[in-house]
Amino acid sequence: MKYIKSFEELNESNANCIDYLKKKAVDIANILRCDIHGSCVHFTEVYLDSIVEDGNMYCLNYITVVEGWVDCELGEGIPQAHTWIEIMGEKIDPTFIQFGHDAEYSNERSTFYNGLDYYKKGQEGSWFRDRRKEFPDYVYKPEYLKR
Protein backbone atom coordinates (compact mmCIF):
# COMPACT_ATOMS: atom_id res chain seq x y z
CA MET A 1 0.00 0.00 0.00
CA LYS A 2 1.27 3.46 -0.90
CA TYR A 3 1.14 6.20 1.71
CA ILE A 4 0.99 9.86 0.73
CA LYS A 5 3.54 11.75 2.77
CA SER A 6 3.10 15.36 1.65
CA PHE A 7 0.63 17.86 0.21
CA GLU A 8 2.55 17.75 -3.07
CA GLU A 9 2.01 13.99 -3.31
CA LEU A 10 -1.66 14.46 -2.44
CA ASN A 11 -2.11 17.08 -5.17
CA GLU A 12 -0.34 14.85 -7.69
CA SER A 13 -2.51 11.89 -6.68
CA ASN A 14 -5.68 14.00 -7.08
CA ALA A 15 -4.59 15.26 -10.51
CA ASN A 16 -3.75 11.74 -11.70
CA CYS A 17 -7.15 10.47 -10.59
CA ILE A 18 -9.01 13.31 -12.31
CA ASP A 19 -7.03 12.84 -15.54
CA TYR A 20 -7.74 9.11 -15.42
CA LEU A 21 -11.48 9.71 -14.90
CA LYS A 22 -11.73 12.08 -17.86
CA LYS A 23 -9.85 9.71 -20.15
CA LYS A 24 -11.99 6.78 -18.99
CA ALA A 25 -15.15 8.78 -19.80
CA VAL A 26 -13.94 9.24 -23.38
CA ASP A 27 -13.07 5.54 -23.65
CA ILE A 28 -16.54 4.48 -22.49
CA ALA A 29 -18.30 7.03 -24.71
CA ASN A 30 -16.44 5.55 -27.67
CA ILE A 31 -17.96 2.08 -27.15
CA LEU A 32 -21.56 3.10 -26.36
CA ARG A 33 -24.38 4.46 -28.50
CA CYS A 34 -24.73 7.78 -26.69
CA ASP A 35 -27.46 9.23 -28.90
CA ILE A 36 -30.35 6.94 -27.90
CA HIS A 37 -33.01 7.35 -25.21
CA GLY A 38 -31.74 5.90 -21.94
CA SER A 39 -28.09 5.97 -22.93
CA CYS A 40 -27.32 8.28 -20.02
CA VAL A 41 -27.85 5.59 -17.38
CA HIS A 42 -26.05 2.99 -19.48
CA PHE A 43 -23.08 5.35 -19.77
CA THR A 44 -23.04 6.08 -16.05
CA GLU A 45 -23.27 2.45 -14.96
CA VAL A 46 -20.71 1.15 -17.49
CA TYR A 47 -18.38 4.03 -16.62
CA LEU A 48 -18.50 3.41 -12.86
CA ASP A 49 -18.19 -0.36 -13.32
CA SER A 50 -15.10 0.06 -15.50
CA ILE A 51 -13.41 2.30 -12.94
CA VAL A 52 -13.90 -0.34 -10.27
CA GLU A 53 -12.78 -3.12 -12.66
CA ASP A 54 -9.57 -1.13 -13.24
CA GLY A 55 -8.93 -1.20 -9.48
CA ASN A 56 -9.58 2.51 -9.02
CA MET A 57 -12.62 2.48 -6.75
CA TYR A 58 -11.10 5.30 -4.68
CA CYS A 59 -11.52 7.60 -7.71
CA LEU A 60 -15.31 7.28 -7.45
CA ASN A 61 -15.14 9.85 -4.65
CA TYR A 62 -14.25 12.53 -7.21
CA ILE A 63 -17.48 11.86 -9.12
CA THR A 64 -20.96 13.23 -8.55
CA VAL A 65 -23.80 11.48 -10.36
CA VAL A 66 -26.75 13.77 -11.04
CA GLU A 67 -30.24 12.47 -11.73
CA GLY A 68 -31.81 15.59 -13.12
CA TRP A 69 -33.82 17.04 -15.95
CA VAL A 70 -33.33 18.50 -19.41
CA ASP A 71 -35.57 21.04 -21.10
CA CYS A 72 -35.78 20.46 -24.85
CA GLU A 73 -38.09 20.82 -27.82
CA LEU A 74 -38.39 17.05 -27.98
CA GLY A 75 -40.13 17.11 -24.59
CA GLU A 76 -42.76 19.62 -25.79
CA GLY A 77 -42.54 21.62 -22.57
CA ILE A 78 -42.18 18.60 -20.29
CA PRO A 79 -38.73 18.27 -18.68
CA GLN A 80 -37.02 15.01 -19.65
CA ALA A 81 -35.29 12.83 -17.05
CA HIS A 82 -31.53 12.65 -17.54
CA THR A 83 -28.49 11.33 -15.68
CA TRP A 84 -24.98 12.75 -16.02
CA ILE A 85 -21.73 12.82 -14.13
CA GLU A 86 -19.63 15.65 -12.81
CA ILE A 87 -15.95 15.41 -11.96
CA MET A 88 -15.04 18.08 -9.44
CA GLY A 89 -17.94 20.22 -10.72
CA GLU A 90 -17.21 19.74 -14.45
CA LYS A 91 -20.06 18.12 -16.41
CA ILE A 92 -19.05 15.01 -18.35
CA ASP A 93 -22.05 14.11 -20.47
CA PRO A 94 -21.52 12.44 -23.85
CA THR A 95 -25.19 11.36 -23.90
CA PHE A 96 -26.62 14.90 -23.89
CA ILE A 97 -26.81 14.68 -27.69
CA GLN A 98 -29.90 12.43 -27.40
CA PHE A 99 -31.99 15.56 -26.68
CA GLY A 100 -31.05 17.57 -29.76
CA HIS A 101 -29.32 20.91 -30.19
CA ASP A 102 -31.88 23.05 -28.36
CA ALA A 103 -31.60 21.25 -25.01
CA GLU A 104 -30.63 22.87 -21.72
CA TYR A 105 -29.99 21.42 -18.28
CA SER A 106 -32.71 22.15 -15.75
CA ASN A 107 -31.82 22.49 -12.07
CA GLU A 108 -35.23 21.59 -10.73
CA ARG A 109 -35.59 18.52 -8.52
CA SER A 110 -32.12 17.12 -9.21
CA THR A 111 -30.77 14.34 -6.99
CA PHE A 112 -27.02 14.14 -6.36
CA TYR A 113 -25.06 11.00 -5.51
CA ASN A 114 -21.44 10.42 -4.66
CA GLY A 115 -19.97 8.14 -7.36
CA LEU A 116 -19.32 5.35 -4.87
CA ASP A 117 -22.90 5.46 -3.54
CA TYR A 118 -24.36 5.35 -7.06
CA TYR A 119 -22.07 2.45 -7.95
CA LYS A 120 -23.24 0.51 -4.88
CA LYS A 121 -26.86 1.28 -5.70
CA GLY A 122 -26.32 -0.11 -9.20
CA GLN A 123 -24.81 -3.31 -7.85
CA GLU A 124 -28.13 -4.08 -6.20
CA GLY A 125 -29.50 -4.47 -9.72
CA SER A 126 -31.02 -2.17 -12.28
CA TRP A 127 -33.35 -2.39 -15.23
CA PHE A 128 -30.61 -0.82 -17.38
CA ARG A 129 -28.05 -3.44 -16.40
CA ASP A 130 -30.52 -6.18 -17.38
CA ARG A 131 -31.21 -4.46 -20.73
CA ARG A 132 -27.48 -4.29 -21.54
CA LYS A 133 -27.22 -8.05 -21.07
CA GLU A 134 -30.38 -8.82 -23.02
CA PHE A 135 -29.96 -6.30 -25.86
CA PRO A 136 -26.27 -5.38 -26.14
CA ASP A 137 -26.70 -4.27 -29.77
CA TYR A 138 -29.04 -1.49 -28.58
CA VAL A 139 -26.47 -0.11 -26.13
CA TYR A 140 -23.02 -0.81 -27.62
CA LYS A 141 -21.65 0.40 -30.93
CA PRO A 142 -21.47 -2.38 -33.56
CA GLU A 143 -17.68 -2.14 -33.88
CA TYR A 144 -17.35 -2.83 -30.14
CA LEU A 145 -19.57 -5.91 -30.32
CA LYS A 146 -17.49 -7.38 -33.19
CA ARG A 147 -14.51 -7.81 -30.86
pLDDT tens digits, one per residue of 73-116: 776 778 889 999 999 989 999 999 888 877 888 877 899 999 99
pLDDT of residue 5: 58
Residue ranges of domains in the chain:
7-145
Distance CA 132, CA 42 (A): 8
Each residue of 35-83: pLDDT tens digit?
888 899 999 999 999 999 999 999 999 999 999 999 887 767 788 899 9
Distance CA 95, CA 88 (A): 19
CB of 128 closer than 8 Å to CB of 38:
yes
Each residue of 2-17: pLDDT tens digit?
555 554 555 566 778 9
CB of 86 closer than 8 Å to CB of 64:
yes
pTM summary value? 0.87
Rg of the chain (C-alpha set): 16
Q: Which residues of 89-127 are buried (b: 16+ CB within 10 A; e: fewer)?
A: eeebbbbbebbeeebebbeeeeeebebbebbeebeeeee
